[in-house]
Amino acid sequence: MISHSILSLSLFIISLFLYRYSFPYPLVEYLSVFFPLFLLGFLPNFLYRRWGRIFTICFGVLFVRFGALTGALTTIPEWTSLHPLLWGAILGILSREHFLIFMGRGKQTADISDKDPIRRRLALNPSPGQKLPYWMEPDIWMVFFLSILVIERTLQYFPWSFETGINFADGFFIKGLSYREAFGLTWMYWDNIVPVIWYIFTEERCSSDLDNPNKHWIIGLTIGYLIQAVIILEQTFLNPNLLMMATGESLKVGRVAGLWRDSGSASWIIPTLGLYLAWKVWERRGIWRESSRRMLSIFILLITGILGLKLGKTFWLAYGAGLFGFLIYFVLRKILHPNDWIQGAFRTFVFVLILSFGFSLLWFGENQKLVPALSHASSLLKKTISGEKLDDLDYRSKLMNASMDLWKDSKFFGNGFGSMIVHLKDLKSPIQERPRNNFVDTPANFYLGWLGETGILGCLLLAMYVFLKTYIAQNAKYLLLLVIPFMTGYQITHADGAFVVFFLLSGTRIIENSRSKLLSKVDLMKIIWMVFAIGISLHYLVFAIFRHT
């Protein structure tokens, strides 16, 4: 507990310092965002374990644009971060655990019905028990690897030597891009990813093996999703301008965003979380009646479909793929249980009929909302058949080609974590063909983006980490929800995207830790992961030094 507290506090201080260095908007504005979010994370987790989990996930879903929504950020309202909330939650958990130890947890018996509030608190927050050695935790070495990637970029962007050290004075890395701005593009990714990983790791590290935080996280996720759904419905049908501050071009193109970063984030997060919640409801077999599970799952899917009326193409790709997956699952299930086939087929037919009728009323009603969309789709199809280049597809194609150019230039190590925008602005970079009109953006595809920025070794480490986490948590099926969205964007660019991605990876543990410890060779796999993570990370550092010299 002490070692974890020291390391957490160190990461917190480093995070604050480097975030302020990377994004130096006025201190008063930063503090007016930081303190409310920090307290929203700290207080619930310090006071109550259950409510702390629920509120942290719920606020993480809702407050990515907290600075813009409250008007606290006026200099750079577009900048978003969840690190105040998550570091507040982390320090709240650790403060609670140290307080309970100080009050005698483990040294005296306590009962939930005890009238003494301190003794009752001791009963409600049992000791986490014996945990694995700190160095065997996979999350430690993933954070280590990401930190090494940041150090590698630091050595690349800033002037330095072995004699004088690193010079952090203001200057320009390339024309129009300073050292600070280039570094900030990399630090933004670290700031989006690491607090999420560390929060989930801290919560599980401080929980007993029989206490699965996921049951409380799902409650918080459901509450947050329902609030987002209500806001998106109001934006779609009543007031498009509602709470749409600092959402980029979303309003101009007629899209909604809810409380997410922008319509791009909403377009993949809404179907992903909707399908996840529908699947979790269906999995309540033996707890809820099948008819209740079926109706609630269908209701969630219907609401999710309606939420996509003013979202991007990614929504329909992810949502359609998810529905197709559900259909395949149910068809296979009916084949394996032929006695239920006629009844199931009839219900499916009625569901499709109702769904079709509902969408017909929405789209072909008196407002004829589908006519412009069909006309636009028809024109795009004609252009595609005639061989004309579509602007949006052309930009995405150029960005994907740029990722491949970066990978070809450095196949094993990539060209730097979070460096795509830097290379697009640098005329001497390995990118051969840039998007028209000096268009600059993050990678258009997660798979190619990660490959181009971290190389083969970075992809190997990420694949090993994902495999190990899913093997321990037995939650690989939930990650299938990310396959399509990863083809359409670089989800870790924004704080809400990284939050959802790593929640699905690390926060959806199905089995208890006590059972996961019985999995075959899991300790050996953790040791192998640790060796690879340390070895490959140090190779990145050595490569950065040699490339500079």
For the segment 160-203, what is each residue's pLDDT rounded down to a tens digit?
887 777 888 788 888 888 999 999 999 999 999 999 999 999 99
**Boundaries of every domain in the chain:** 220-336, 339-525
- 209, two tokens: 């093996």
The Cα–Cα gap between 323 and 274 comes to: 11
Written as six digits, the tokens of 239 are 């007031």
Q: Taking the alpha carbons of 136, 139, 142, 146 in that order, is the dihedral positive or negative?
A: negative
HEC letters along 339-386? HHHHHHHHHHHHHHHHHHHHHHHHHHCCCCCHHHHHHHHHHHHHHHHH
3-state secondary structure of 307: helix
Pairing of strands 177-178, 172-174: antiparallel
Q: What are the tens digits of pLDDT across the range 366-380? A: 444 444 444 444 444
pLDDT higher for 174 or 108?
174
- Report the distance separating Cα 231 and Cα 236, nearest Å: 9
- Statement: residue 517 has pLDDT above 70: no
**Residues written for the chain:** 549
Helix (H) or strand (E) holding 120: helix 117-124
Determine contact, residues 185/419, Cβ cutoff 8 Å.
Answer: yes
All residues at 6 or more sequence positions from 499 whose CB lies less than 8 Å from its CB, including other chains? 60, 61, 64, 82, 192, 196
pLDDT recorded at residue 381: 46
More confident residue, 362 or 256: 256
335 CB-contact burial (10 Å; exposed 0-12 / middle 13-18 / buried 19+): exposed
CA dihedral 117, 122, 124, 129 (to 10 degrees): 170
Task: Specify the DSSP class assigned to residue 308.
Answer: G
Per mean pLDDT, which range of 348-352, 412-416, 477-481, 540-544 is the poorest? 348-352
Distance CA 254, CA 48 (A): 42
What's the Cα-to-Cα distance from 19 to each of 181, 183, 198, rounded to whole Å?
A: 11, 10, 17
Out of 280-294, 339-353, 488-502, pick the least confident.
339-353
- Of residues 322 and 292, more confidence is placed in 322
Q: What angle do CA 484, 500, 328 make, to 5 degrees?
A: 40
Q: What value does the mean pLDDT take over residues 515-541? A: 85
The winner for highest mean pLDDT among 103-107, 142-146, 211-215 is 142-146
Instruction: Compute the distance between CA of residue 153 and CA of residue 540 in angstroms, rounded to an integer.
Output: 10
Considering 347-356, 417-426, 430-439, the range whose residues carry the highest mean pLDDT is 417-426
Reduced 3-state DSSP string for 254-291: CCCCCCCCCHHHHHHHHHHHHHHHHHHHHCCECCECHH
Q: Which two tokens stand for residue 534?
A: 């340390």
Asked if residue 474 has pLDDT above 70, the reply is yes
Phi, psi of 173 (to 5 degrees): -75, -45
For residues 63 and 66, give the distance between their C-alpha atoms in angstroms, rounded to a whole number.
5
Task: Tell me what the pLDDT averaged over the chain comes to.
Answer: 83
Q: Which residue has the tokens 């009962």?
A: 111
Predicted local distance difference test score (pLDDT) of residue 434:
79
Residue range 378-401, pLDDT digits in tens: 444 444 444 444 445 667 788 888
CB 259 within 8 A of CB 69: yes
Whether residue 231 contacts residue 242, with contact meaning beta carbons closer than 8 Å, is answered with: yes
- pLDDT tens readout for residues 47-77: 888 999 999 999 999 999 999 888 888 888 7
Hey, is 3 helix, strand or coil?
Answer: helix
Instruction: Encode pLDDT of 297-310 as tens digits.
Output: 888 998 999 999 88
Q: CA 270 to CA 440: how far, in whole Å?
A: 26
Helix (H/G/I), strand (E/B), else coil: 212 = coil
Distance in angstroms (rounded) separating the CA atoms of residues 87 and 11: 9
Q: Got the DSSP string for 301-322? A: HHHHHHHGGGS-HHHHHHHHHH
Tell me which of 89 and 357 has the higher pLDDT: 89
Q: What is the pLDDT of residue 186?
A: 94
Average pLDDT of 37-43? 96
Burial of 356: CB neighbours in 10 Å, binned 0-12, 13-18, 19+: exposed
**pTM of the predicted model as reported, rounded to 2 decimal places:** 0.89
Calculate the alpha carbon distances from 66 to 40, 246, 495 in Å. 12, 10, 12
Cβ atoms of residues 317 and 305 within 8 Å: no
Residue type at 420?
Answer: M
- pLDDT, greater one: 357 or 10: 10
Q: Tell me whether residue 512 is exposed, middle or buried, using C-beta atoms within 10 angstroms of its C-beta: 0 to 12, 13 to 18, 19 or more.
A: middle
CB atoms under 10 Å from CB of 439, counted, come to 13
Report whether pLDDT(478) > 50. yes
When pLDDT is cut at 50, 70 and 90, the band that residue 276 belongs to is very high
Where residue 244 falls (left for φ over 0; alpha for ψ -120 to 50; beta otherwise) is alpha
